[in-house]
């Protein structure tokens, strides 16, 4: 079995030999007399040689040449992003061919296409073997480093305040992405940017599924999401309360309701003479109108002082008066 070209020569050549070649299924390339190159066009071709020496013409000699099978395979795209799945299509170019995918050095009978999965980046080879039932010839086609899988970028970021108060919802983002050169941010409030490390201000209360799409130089992408909560900072200070009220919310006094770090909170209540009658270090322990010794405080005006930090670390100092009603 020959490849597409073959060298044919007349073995008994002398100086006066004139060779006359005839072809069927192949043709001569270049010039030559006693030795020629031919291109084999069909799976089986024939060549006939007649020699003239000193006016004597030989009987024709004919021989058959078998060509290795012609086949190919192709993909829609020879490169993609990690992880990459690609369908490879077989293309027989001769009749009566049996084709085999060569996977892990083992032959598998060919279906019209084969799905390959490449979890890693790099260049990868694809191989196929072919056997001609017409000629008995076989061949192997290897496309070395044919499939190019580009590395996937890594997208990640971190906000300086994953939970913010609406009064201070100006968030800075630290970008930890790798193998990327483009960045597309979506703050889930109708706004976005392509900056590397943006600063964004949220103006409404709610949960915002902030998204970053990192893109590599090959167009490969990775996505990272982070939920940011924007809360109200509520300092609703009632000016009076009554411990025996029919409404439960009116039975105690607490000047702060949300957005406070409970481990850095202090509330003190003073009577009109400046005596400390109640204190607490948590918003979950409101004043119920009793003194430090557990007795009912008399009806009247009381002074309160609150020192605390909000959830973003800002310090607050507030004071006022509250009327205890009996």
pLDDT in tens, 175-216: 999 999 999 999 999 999 999 999 999 999 999 999 999 999
- Most distant CA atoms of the chain, gap in Å: 146
The answer, yes or no, to whether residue 86 has pLDDT greater than 60, is yes
Tell me the pTM.
0.69
The average pLDDT across 266-281 equals 94
- According to DSSP, residue 249 is labeled G
Q: What is the pLDDT of residue 220?
A: 97
The average pLDDT across 96-122 equals 82
The average pLDDT across 291-317 equals 90
Percent of the chain with pLDDT over 70: 97
The average pLDDT across 11-15 equals 90
Q: What is the pLDDT of residue 234?
A: 64
The average pLDDT across 146-157 equals 97
Q: How far apart are CA 217 and CA 219, in angstroms?
A: 6
Q: What is the pLDDT of residue 177?
A: 97
Q: How far apart are CA 279 and CA 265, in angstroms?
A: 10
Q: How far apart are CA 158 and CA 290, in angstroms?
A: 46
Whether residue 321 contacts residue 301, with contact meaning beta carbons closer than 8 Å, is answered with yes
- According to DSSP, residue 294 is labeled S
Percent of the chain with pLDDT over 90: 79
Q: What is the pLDDT of residue 133?
A: 94
Q: Of 63-67, 216-220, 228-232, 259-263, which range is least confident? A: 259-263
The answer, yes or no, to whether residue 106 has pLDDT greater than 60, is no
Structure tokens at 305: 């002082």
Closest C-alpha among 112, 149, 144 to residue 125: 144
The answer, yes or no, to whether residue 105 has pLDDT greater than 60, is no
Q: How far apart are CA 222 and CA 213, in angstroms?
A: 6
SS3 of 25, please? Answer: coil
- According to DSSP, residue 134 is labeled T
Whether residue 125 contacts residue 144, with contact meaning beta carbons closer than 8 Å, is answered with yes
Average pLDDT, the chain: 92
Q: What is the pLDDT of residue 260?
A: 80
Q: What is the pLDDT of residue 261?
A: 80
Whether residue 57 contacts residue 129, with contact meaning beta carbons closer than 8 Å, is answered with no
SS3 of 116, please? Answer: strand
Q: What is the pLDDT of residue 110?
A: 66
The average pLDDT across 79-96 equals 94
Closest C-alpha among 178, 231, 241 to residue 208: 231
The answer, yes or no, to whether residue 111 has pLDDT greater than 80, is no
């Amino acid at each position: 079995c020959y490849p597409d070209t073959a060298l044919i020569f007349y073995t008994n050549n002398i100086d006066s030999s004139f060779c006359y070649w005839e072809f069927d299924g192949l043709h001569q390339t270049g010039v030559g007399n006693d030795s020629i190159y031919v291109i084999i066009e069909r799976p089986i071709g024939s060549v006939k040689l007649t020699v003239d020496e000193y006016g004597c013409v030989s009987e024709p000699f004919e021989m058959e040449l078998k060509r290795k099978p012609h086949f190919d395979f192709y993909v829609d795209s020879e490169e993609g992003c990690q992880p990459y799945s690609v369908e490879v299509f077989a293309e027989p170019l001769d009749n009566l061919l049996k084709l085999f995918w060569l996977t892990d050095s083992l032959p598998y009978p060919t279906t019209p296409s084969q799905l390959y999965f490449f979890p890693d980046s790099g260049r990868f080879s694809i191989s196929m073997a072919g056997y001609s039932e017409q000629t008995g010839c076989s061949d192997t086609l290897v496309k070395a480093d044919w499939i190019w899988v580009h590395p996937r970028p890594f997208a990640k970021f971190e906000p300086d305040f994953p939970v913010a108060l609406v009064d201070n919802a100006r968030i800075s983002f630290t970008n930890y992405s790798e193998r990327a050169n483009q960045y597309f941010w979506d703050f889930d409030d109708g706004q976005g940017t392509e900056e590397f490390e943006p600063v964004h201000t949220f103006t409404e209360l709610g949960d915002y599924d902030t998204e970053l799409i990192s893109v590599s130089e090959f167009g490969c992408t990775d996505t990272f999401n982070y939920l940011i909560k924007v809360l109200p900072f509520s300092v609703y200070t009632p000016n009076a309360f009554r411990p025996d009220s029919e409404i439960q919310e009116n039975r105690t006094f607490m000047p702060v309701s949300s957005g406070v770090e409970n481990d850095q909170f202090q509330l003190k209540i003073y009577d009109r003479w400046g005596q400390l009658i109640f204190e607490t270090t948590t918003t979950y322990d409101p004043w119920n109108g009793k003194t430090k010794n557990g007795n009912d405080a008399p009806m009247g005006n009381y002074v309160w002082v609150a020192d605390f930090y909000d959830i973003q670390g800002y310090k607050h100092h507030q004071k006022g008066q509250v009327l205890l009603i009996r």
